[in-house]
Amino acid sequence: MLSTSLYVLAGLATWGSDIGTIAQSIITDDTVFYGQSPPVYPSPNGTGLGDWADSYEKARALVAQLTLEEKGHSVTFFTSWNRELAHKRAVGMAGEFRAKGVHIALGPVVGPLGRIASSGRNWEGFSNDPYLCGALAADTIKGIQSHFIANEQETNRNPEGNVTAVSSNIDDKTMHELYLWPFQDAVKAGTVNIMCSYNRINNSYGCANSKTQNGLLKTELGFQGFVVSDWWAQHSGVTTALAGLDMTMPFASPYWSSNLTQAVKNGSVPETRLDDMATRIIATWYKLGQDEGFPEIGKGMPYDLSQPHQRVIAKSPKNKDVLLQGAVESHVLLKNTNNALPLKSPKLLSLFGYSAKSFDTYTPGGGGWNGGSQALAPSDLIRNGDDILHTQIAANGTLISGGGSGANMPAYVSSPAAALSQRAYEDDTSLWWDFHSGNPQVDQSSDACIVVGNAFASEGFDRPGLHDDFTDALINNVASQCHNTIVVFHNAGVRLVDQFIDHPNVTALIFAHLPGQDSGRALTSILYGDVNPSGKLPYSVPRNESDYGPLQNATLPDGIYELFPQSDFTEGIYIDYRAFDAKNITPRYEFGFGLSYTTFNYSDLQISKDENADTSEYPSKPIVEGGQEDLWDVVAKVSATVANSGEVEGAEVAQLYVGIPNGPVKQLRGFSKPVLAPGESAVVDFELTRRDLSTWDVVAQKWLLQKGDYGIFVGSSSRTLPLTGTLSI
């Protein structure tokens, strides 16, 4: 088996602008921030809960035989809304990782949650909603066997010169109800490894934060695995050891190794803490069965592929269908005026846009595509004065992945141009194309004009905006000459569309997101109606960037915090659709929205409370992996009937939202995706647990199940909810 690594976000106690009253000039000493993240010591030892018992017994026996020096060195070392698909994808990934001798897959990522709309790393997560993110992460973890809290922006995530990493300042309620939520699902699903992040959390570095690691993760959630640092995210030795860090990466740290051994000898670090580090790591090794029959470490994974190396082809033919299905279901149909799609036996198509073609070069040495970053040729066609627009679009070919360490290197690429050319050959269709011009010539007799653009994002920097003038102008220029203009975006996150969406000749819009190597094949199958689109937005698309308010862009060093940038999460749990609901802002396309080539009807809402369920205010059972055991007890059940009232087969994501007293108007608490033939109906069932219905009590430090009426809403998106009812507790 393979380990997953989860990324921990961060933060616990808001402190607002109190510091501003203390200092009127630039703060140069971090002691002013001491105490903002409550200390939690000592680091709890792993206990071997549940199915960890045998692994812990073996690990403790082995650790007991190690010398002090040996112990020290051992610790140095998706839009588809489809749970089953997430699991199948993870199983395939696990096989590929194992074939390469990889013990730990650094994923899935469940943070950022998309708090900052322009964050360069939003594309690596599953959704802007904690419930959807946690549900898909849990199925991914189960399939494979990821960063720990509040890494919500790329700007200033690391120290730069005299400027520290940005601090994510999060209050206790927001931490539990929003940012910790998907990690709780991950721990319950059995993740064995969680990664601490680069940023500071309430002014304590993520890998040295005892509240998040010792308090939240290892105590409250009962996490039995080990905590590993992100690459070079460790900034101290004794502090990180005491705060719960178990392994530092990428290799021997100057803070640990012999220094950690010395810290134990001089009493700075208890030997029991060192024992627990080693035990957690070795128990994971045993639990995943990696002590027997595991391939050579890093087999076929040279640092430089252009140099001689052992070749290991890890892909499996049995995963091809899963990859294609994932690509297809990542496409979200957002506009389809007059049934412009699917295409109806076109005789002439025109294809435009830089993201329609394959990238120009694809070699181990770099070129057009290297680790997710794309070269900008031809740069002279995409300029704004003297500035090249290189951070908003990937201009050198179809965008199949975001950039940075989470980017993938495909075995092949099916571009939209290649797939449409093949379909033109098969159907005897004529095809025009222009991949470079911003104002191309258009044959106005075209049955349809397809414009393919993209929105690039990458680890390491945040997006400068949520749209680009070049692509918007390209779309409008084509639409002014073509009566049936279909727009497709390969987008690594939110992409604004109000600059062109109301043009009368823009008849259809598809967000393809990051479809991977089957990009063109998946798109063509949807354009021609070979498959019915079923994707739903995992975020909201606003009309203007200003709709996000201060959450549009990352926090920068400023004022008295020039050396210690502060990102105050004063919006609390109100991000994305929760914020738009609270502020009565109407988005262009709401969270959970997506069209189909058929239609669906909802009926027969049923709500029943489990009469045997314990509905006392607070949970009382002991902690298991994921938190107190009775948090997962089912309190109520909801069902509804979904019917396909159209003429073609289709899949519909039925969504359940709950209005919790004294909380947001509604929060996602369930989804189901039945596939229905024309005229067919299905009953979708949802279970609501104590946790689903609870809020975090900051005084009692427990999940509170309130007495009162809970709104129940079922429908096709966060704003199309035809079925409503009430659950009384």
**Domains assigned to the chain:** 3-9+41-287 (3.20.20.300), 324-527 (3.40.50.1700), 600-728 (2.60.40.10)
Per-residue pLDDT of 321-342, as tens digits, reads 888 888 899 899 999 999 999 9
Query: Reduced to 3 states, what is the DSSP secondary structure of residue 31?
Result: helix
Predicted confidence (pLDDT) per residue in 169-185, tens digit: 889 999 999 889 888 98
Q: Categorise residue 156: left if φ over 0, alpha if ψ from -120 to 50, beta otherwise.
A: left
The pLDDT value given to residue 317 = 78
Question: What confidence score (pLDDT) does residue 517 get?
Answer: 87
- In the chain, % of residues over pLDDT 90: 45
Closest CA to 277 of 292, 264, 295: 264
Contact assessment for residue 25 and residue 560, using Cβ atoms and an 8 Å cutoff: yes
3-state SS class at 242: helix
pLDDT at 554 over 60: no
Tokens encoding 611: 């009469």
Predicted confidence at residue 72, as pLDDT, reads 58
Rounded mean pLDDT of 64-73?
63
622-637: average pLDDT: 96
Is residue 150 within 8 A of residue 170, CB to CB? The reply is: yes
Specify the 3-state DSSP secondary structure of 603: strand
Based on the residue annotation, tell me whether 29 is a catalytic residue of this protein.
no
Of the candidates 535, 124, 83, 597, the one whose C-alpha atom is nearest the C-alpha of residue 331 is 535
pLDDT above 60 for 377 = no
Stretch 549-554: mean pLDDT, rounded?
59
Average pLDDT score over residue span 498-515: 96
Structure confidence at residue 7 as a pLDDT band (50, 70, 90) = very low
- Lowest-confidence region among 107-111, 314-318, 372-376: 372-376
Cα maximum dimension of the chain: 83
| Three-class SS state of 182 | helix
> Which among 139, 185, 230, 633 is annotated as catalytic?
230
683-708 residues labelled b (16+ CB within 10 A) or e (exposed)? ebebbbbbbbbbbbbeeeebbbbbee
| Tally of helices (H runs) and strands (E runs) in the chain | 17, 32
Band (pLDDT 50/70/90 cuts) for residue 381 is very low
Is a pLDDT exceeding 80 seen at residue 391?
Answer: no
3-class SS of residue 676: strand
In whole numbers, what is the pLDDT of the chain averaged over residues?
A: 81
- DSSP, res 100: T
The whole-number pLDDT of residue 31 equals 58
Give the span between the Cα atoms of 417 and 32, in whole angstroms. Answer: 58
A 10 A CB-CB count for 64 gives 9
Q: 395 falls in which pLDDT band (50, 70, 90)?
A: confident
pLDDT classification of 441: cutoffs 50, 70, 90 = very high
d(CA 641, CA 659): 21
Write the CA distances from 193 to 56, 75, 318, integer angstroms. 15, 13, 28
pLDDT for 438 beyond 60:
yes
Q: How confident is the model at residue 154 (pLDDT cuts 50, 70, 90)?
A: very low
| pLDDT in the model for residue 164 | 63
pLDDT, greater one: 165 or 240 = 240
CB-based burial, 296-308: b 16+ in 10 Å, e otherwise: eeeebeeeeeeee
Nearby residues of 61 by Cβ (< 8 Å), 6 or more positions away: none
The reported pTM is 0.85
DSSP state at residue 160: B
